[in-house]
Amino acid sequence: MSFHHLDQFATVPSPVTAMPPVARLVGATSVAVGAATLPLGAWPAAAALGALVAAMTLLARVPVPLLLRRMSGPLAFVLLASAGLLVFVPGDPVLDLGWVAVTRPGVERFGFVLARAVVALSAAVLLVTTTEFPDLLDALRRLRLPRVVTTALSLAYRLLYLLMEELERLLRAARSRNAGAGAASRRRLAAGVAAAVLQRAFARAERTHRAMLARGYQGELATLTEWRWRAWMVAALATLLGLVLVTAVLARG
């Protein structure tokens, strides 16, 4: 399952993975927000931020096809949602489809929305590809995200895998009894399996809660990790933030 390898590049040694996760999170977020909020038509700025992400990708030694593959899902969504721009923005028609026409400003607007999305998404995907989930969580904690949220997220992480395991077991058991041949039977099987997984999730949560109490849990999740900041890391993060900021200002210039 692809999901077992979400963070497979987190352990590849590189300047990117050496950075404290907080730095990675802040860096990626600033690029993503910077890109997503660029004013329409700020092509040079979008290109600059895109180049920044490309440089990071190279540094982290993440293969570009992998990055693109991971972006494809959300990107398809953006494509669909913004396709209307092609025809609804009034202006010179460049392609007449009979009942509607694709306009020149429509193409420009659509292209820019897409470019913004590509840059923002690639920054986000690069972050989760190079950062292990526990580190990401720790970063969120350091950024003072409420404890309940980070606690819930860290428990959800393990639970997600346990549920996937249960799901696989249930499906295997059902298939070994020849369930799921034919559409109606498949629907019934899916409903039954979903109900069973849900029920097991609740039972599991209950037992885990007891296991936490048994080890002295009193409502606060304390943590272990310490990362070391080095001068070059501070400098690198500051440079990145500076570049994003300058780009954003220039784009609005």
Q: Does 227 bind other proteins (CB under 8 A)?
A: no
Q: Does 211 bind other proteins (CB under 8 A)?
A: yes
The residue among 221 and 243 lying less far from other proteins, judged by its C-beta, is 221
Q: Which residue from 144, 177, 215, 228 is in contact with other proteins, where contact means CB under 8 A?
A: 215
The residue among 183 and 222 lying less far from other proteins, judged by its C-beta, is 222
The residue among 147 and 186 lying less far from other proteins, judged by its C-beta, is 147
The residue among 77 and 157 lying less far from other proteins, judged by its C-beta, is 157
The residue among 36 and 212 lying less far from other proteins, judged by its C-beta, is 212
Q: Answer for the pair 37, 240: CB distance below 8 angstroms, yes or no.
A: no
- List binders of other proteins among 123-152 (CB under 8 A): 132-134, 137
The residue among 108 and 166 lying less far from other proteins, judged by its C-beta, is 166
Q: Does 212 bind other proteins (CB under 8 A)?
A: yes
Binding mask 189-208 for other proteins (x = CB under 8 A): ---------------x--xx
Q: How far is the CB of 134 from other proteins (least distance, A)?
A: 4
Q: Which residue from 61, 69, 158, 187 is in contact with other proteins, where contact means CB under 8 A?
A: 158
Instruction: Give the chain as a 3 state SS string.
Output: CHHHHCCHHHHCCCHHHHCCHHHHHHHHHHHHHHHHCCCCCCHHHHHHHHHHHHHHHHHHCCCHHHHHHHHHHHHHHHHHHHCCHHHHCCCCEEEECCCCEEEHHHHHHHHHHHHHHHHHHHHHHHHHHHCCHHHHHHHHHHCCCCHHHHHHHHHHHHHHHHHHHHHHHHHHHHHHCCCCCCHHHHHHHHHHHHHHHHHHHHHHHHHHHHHHHHCCCCCCCCCCCCCCCCHHHHHHHHHHHHHHHHHHHHHHC
d(CA 220, CA 154): 13
Q: How far is the CB of 220 from other proteins (least distance, A)?
A: 8
Q: Does 111 bind other proteins (CB under 8 A)?
A: no
Interface positions with other proteins (CB under 8 A): 4, 132-134, 137, 154-155, 157-159, 161-162, 165, 204, 207-208, 210-218, 222-224, 226
